[in-house]
Amino acid sequence: MSAAKRFFTREQELVGSIKSWTDSPFIGDDCAVVADGVLLTTDTLVEGTHFLLPQIALRDLGWKSIAVNLSDVAAMAGRPRNLLVSITVPPSLDKVAFRELYEGMIECSKIYGAQIVGGDLTKGKALTIGITVQGQVHENGCMLRSGAKSGDLVIVTGDFGASRAGLWILLNQLDSAKDFSHAISAHVHPLPRLCESWSMVRRTAGRGALMDASDGLADALSQICRASDVGMDIDLEKLPIHPETVAIAQLAGADPVDWALYGGEDYELVGCIPESSLKDWVDDNSFRVIGVVTAADEINLKSGEKTASQLDLSKCFEQIEF
């Protein structure tokens, strides 16, 4: 079995089918790169699938819907410019709630230097927020998923599993929610890692690989390996996991490492860069090394020197199941 085959989930197979039907070279990365270095990407949040009301405030939902799209631009080290907002409005949403949703979207857009320029309103049963971003490739280069090479370091921003932990707190409506502000914030108010991605591309000029871990760290690692035709050794002891995530996993009777690998919705960056790029990168380096890229046909999970297991893609969150 080739690396390309081994690292497919069923959803990734479907995306492969769409790529062959449309004959588009762009499908399969976080953004499409079209003429003149223009980046295009779209992501949709659906009530009942991605969020439940009232567990997320409308203002947070607005913020998050923009942030997850900006994260896709960060995943290619691009600069977001213009946003289109398409909202399916259910009868239960009143104008006050609608305005709160918009305020969250506007706040996130402005902070990251993008602007809402248009959109579409329609009525329907479930609140659905579809965002499209048009951006520009960074002047120092564009980071794809396919640029990892054997010997590169695997690096990540932030920490993993916190969004899954925050979701668990929200679903279980615990009184202790105020003690878990990091985890809840990771879930409802993610920060797109644009500055971090620009810092990276300035140092690598596009050499390396990058994507975001929106569908989970395991998914991101496997997608980079598949696109780059490489393997990885990941050191589980180096995975950044916040103390709150560990505490919440204990409450939930779950394994925090499983949440970090497969939990999903951690809008952090996962990249592969040559070791030399890391050397003079001190001041603003918000990345941590969690492993190395190999020429092997597998992703090994190690604890220190001991090989623990291989990545289990069947644990990934999958949207589409046919």
Q: Do 271 and 143 contact (CB within 8 A), yes or no?
A: yes
Q: Residue 125 burial (CB < 10 Å; 0-12/13-18/19+)? A: exposed
Q: Which residue from 6, 8, 16, 44 is in contact with a second copy, where contact means CB under 8 A?
A: 44
Instruction: Give me 321's structure tokens.
Output: 């199941």
Contact residues for 168 (Cβ-Cβ < 8 A; gap 6+): 248, 251, 252, 254
User: How far apart, in Å, are the Cα atoms of 117 and each of 83, 104, 259, 319?
Assistant: 6, 16, 37, 29
Rounded CA gap, 227 and 135, in Å?
A: 23
User: How far apart, in Å, are the Cα atoms of 297 and each of 73, 160, 190, 230, 286?
Assistant: 29, 25, 33, 7, 29
Rounded CA gap, 192 and 171, in Å?
A: 24
State in angstroms the smallest separation of the CB of 147 from a second copy: 19
CB nearer a second copy, residue 45 or residue 218: 45
CB nearer a second copy, residue 34 or residue 295: 34
List the interface residues with a second copy, window 106-125 (CB under 8 A).
106, 115-125
Q: Is 281 in the site for a second copy (CB under 8 A)?
A: no
CB nearer a second copy, residue 190 or residue 291: 190
State in angstroms the smallest separation of the CB of 51 from a second copy: 12
Q: Which residue from 4, 49, 151, 171 is in contact with a second copy, where contact means CB under 8 A?
A: 49
CB nearer a second copy, residue 135 or residue 147: 135
CB nearer a second copy, residue 262 or residue 287: 262
Kindly list the residues in this chain that would bind a second copy in the complex (CB under 8 A): 11, 14-15, 17-18, 21-22, 24, 26-27, 31-32, 34-36, 38, 40-46, 48-50, 81-82, 84, 86, 88-89, 93-95, 98-99, 102-103, 106, 115-126, 128, 130, 132, 134, 319-322
